Chains A and B, each alone.
Chain A
Amino acid sequence: MNNFYKKYIPYMFIAPAALMLFVFFFIPFFQTILLSLQDFSTDIYNPSFTGLNNYKILLTSREFYKVLFNTFLFLIFVVPVLSILPLIVAIFINQKIKGVSLYKVLIYLPVVISIVVVAIAFKWMYAQEGILNYFLSLFKLNPAGWLTDTKFAMFSVALVTIYKGIGYYMMIYLAALTGVPKELYEAAETDGANEIKKHLTVTIPHIMPTIALVVIISSISALKVFAEIYVMTKGGPLNSTKTIVYYIYERAFENLDLSMAAAASVVLLIVILIFSLINITFFENKRYKL
């Protein structure tokens, strides 16, 4: 084989993937930034350059603050539960008991089911005369407007995300739990530690990096929440469930307000970039080592 040809072989293998990434990631990435610096309001086909003006408008709009607050609230609901509950489930599954694979399959099932169907199933349970309000009535509580009351709506949406995420993070924890040396448990047992104390002193410290990883990835996916909101509330009632991706969607594809959509996209990019950088610097630096 001649050397001229050989020199180009690596690039030929990479070219198809590189071309796709270039067209569908890098160009749109820079274009998002470019769009955010342009004003489309006078003529959508002939935007004018406005510098940082769009950001000024965005960051002084009350609606966008509400959106940021909602996104943060959603994250606060979802991330702690998804970091702790799947770990508890994983610890139970990791005990030497029969039927573990069946439990795993059943608990993982919601992960593979379309979020649209899951959201519809919850919407049905959240109905005014639905099954959840029946349970409330058993405790002599008034029926809640799960998706219609501004106080509850974000919590109700978060519950759907939590439901769909438990199996996913459980699998990550299960993989981490296999790495905890058995001798440590035996040592703790001879020290007279009970079940709970054993996990607090051995399991938790040992899998701390995985817990941190789950906090980061569940935060990133919480920031990207969309389908649950689209299917159940459309951002309502009174914008109480409008999060940043829903806001971008609404601006871009319903109001054709490309400037605000792009500026909000850049805000989302920056926030996710910060989380990703924390992740790569502290938790996954070994993973992606060259």
Chain B
Amino acid sequence: MSELLRIEDFSFSYRHRNTTISILKKLDILIFPGEVVGLVGESGSGKSTLAKAILRIPDFKYEVSYKGSIYLNGNDLMQLNDTQLDRIRGNEISIIFQDPLSYLNPMFTIHRQIKEVLKHHEIANGIVADEMIRRCLLNVSFNYPDRIMRSYPFELSGGMRQRIMICMAMITRPKLLIADEVTSSLDALIEKEILDNINRLCSDYGTSVLLISHNLPTILKYANRIAIIYFGHIVEIVHVNNAQKGARHPYTKALFSCALAKVKDGVFPFIEGSIPKPHDVIVGCPFHLRNCPRAIDACRTTLPEMESYDEGSFRCHNPYPVEG
């Protein structure tokens, strides 16, 4: 099976006061067509940066540099210029962010905002576009699309706005949808509704999803494969069925038990130490500093290479053995 998106040896860093702070370090991810890949990480691990870096969404504050390549159907996105990339943004790869209100223009109606997307990518215009918008709004479970089309972003609730964002992202029928913490600020019930919407639309359109979240239970419910990111490194990519028992990397194991609050003898699981900051310099495997239970001498000196096995890959010197 040929992959849709291949992120290969990808690094991202920015310069801040004459120091280079690298956020993403040599990432390798494959996303196959129609697949939902979950990206889990704690704050500061670089998961949102990856979402923006794939589409090279500019950060005006700092001087950034990219290394490596991202292939979309064999075309290297890093080689494209801004005009060419503009055609891909929102058309072939769409992105949804955590806070929809700051991405919707408060002065435009929902109808105009969505139509703008269609016009920009020269997909449809006029009545055809209107009909497309109406159908798309119905698809994201709005019962009265005409009323929604006339309203302004501030008139809608958080969940409704997020559904508008999904509509805007999916109306172009992209090949890949990047959902960056889409439900972090929403409640469990609304979260379910939104993710169900995304899931249904994407399986209808055959769109792959890169589902980014810090909330592991959510990812476990919706993703096919899970990539765990820690301190800018992908430490493990594992299939969801295998995720809880078959995880090889100690961080993955620890994170799962923390996130699902697997209490042992009345004690909540936790990981020692604090999350490394992006500007920290760590020699060796970054996880050995947090009392990794399987740390060996090699972890303190060298960063392990990515190792693949039949159900996934991991980056560890001394992984847990395969069970059974």
> Is the A/B pair a real complex?
no
